[in-house]
Structure 1
Amino acid sequence: MVEESPVRQLCDETTCPICLEYFKDPVTIDCRHNFCQAYITQCWQEPGREASCPQCRVPCPQRDFKPNRQLASIVEIAKKFRLQRTRGAEALGKVCERHQEPLKLFCEDDQALICVVCDKSKEHKEHKVIPKDEAFRERKKKIWNYLTFLKEKRKEMLSCKQRKENESQMLLEEAEIETQKIMAEFNQLHIFLEEQECLVLTKRKNLSDEIKHMRNKNIEKLSKEISSMDDLIKEMEEKHNQPTSEFLQKLCCLDFKKIKFMTFKGS
């Protein structure tokens, strides 16, 4: 609870402890406490309840009360005073919608601005209430601390972001260099393989040409020898079929050395 101010004391003195509103037709009972006439009458008329002061519990067997005109006058003055203050507060847009009082207090439990009448109500009776200026300073300081923390974190994140970007750029550059190096090596290898392919194909062509040449040469030679052998066979067949005298006479004409030579080469 906040320290009592004159305005709040005036509000307390002109507020009914039962209805928590300004006194209406205030009356004083035997214990000198004041209440709205309608509410104290209603309270004492409850079935099975002894008449007593709702505030101090002192018995009031006579159920007697007296109009308090002086308090009624003070209530009217308080209302006029509140109206004057309300108009000033309305210009700033800071008036309690319920009680039309300036919002000068802050309820920590409800996290809301309230007026002095709200503070005395049952709704805020057990709540922690502080002046709104104090609440403003505390929250402004808290927000400033959060703001400082967030700015520092943002600075760290920007630094981290820049560092990551630099690292990524460096890795990309290294990767590009390595890619170019690999491409150059593969290009050199490709050139080497093309040269080797050309060399091997040339050797194979030369070998094929040589084989063909030797084949043709041998075939040509063998063809000539076969032709000579055919002639010799024909000659010998003719001699073999000659009569005895002619066969023997011309037998000496056969070149047996040539036959042996051809037979030897053929084997």
Structure 2
Amino acid sequence: MNIVVCVKQVPDTNEVKIDPVKGTLIRDGVPSIINPDDKNAIEEALALKDKHGAKVTVITMGPPQAEVALKEAIAMGADDAILVSDRAFAGSDTLATSRTLAGAIAKLDYDIVMAGRQAIDGDTAQVGPGIAESLGLPQVTYVENVEVEGKSLKIRKALEDGYEMLEIQTPCLLTAIDSLNEPRYMQMKNIFTAYDKEVTMWNASDIDVNPEHLGLKGSPTKVKKTWTKEVKGAGELVELPAKDAAAVALSKLKEKHYI
């Protein structure tokens, strides 16, 4: 079994700041992490490897420093890592990103492609399904349990009010959520060997994707404005009987002309 896991290096959102002039994220000096849902995808791939035997390849599209995230995935237990990096990818939206990653994955042998549900720096949940569409793969999103039965998988998919049981044939794409598992820590022995292991580097000329579909050229999404959410005040706590508290709330709403 060959499993490819798509990961993304993202800023630690607790420390993200926005340039007030350019309206872009200030990444200088901001710590980067593997996107949390992507860690769940890595863990599930490694769990399947432990149980059934598999080769796990992690892949990311990003700048050269994204190699650090791939090294961490190797230290967790992944076998190979691929960094798809080129200035031609700059400015990619979710469509261009999914096309780029799909072009890279198409060069690999795979039975299962896994990704996190969504990235915390965008929260679109579009890249995983976009990869599946580009590769012509069946897909299941919001996966919270996986069982292998021959060349098919039995999946429990989380819903807002319950879950759905599905069976899907491989090759396929799955997106992971945090309830799927608890990601393992890096193993001490792997931490040392991870930095000796070479990460495969691919650029735009190494993948079969129309140049018009890459980067800004291939990105129909245009960001009009970005801003930092204002911190709300502490509020006012009123300890009164329900009827009196309701009267106070009503007067406050009238005072602010909400009603």
Shorter-chain TM range is under 0.3
When the two structures are superposed, what TM-score results if normalisation uses the length of structure 1? 0.19
Q: Which has the higher helix share?
A: 1
When the two structures are superposed, what TM-score results if normalisation uses the length of structure 2? 0.19
Q: Which has the higher strand share?
A: 2
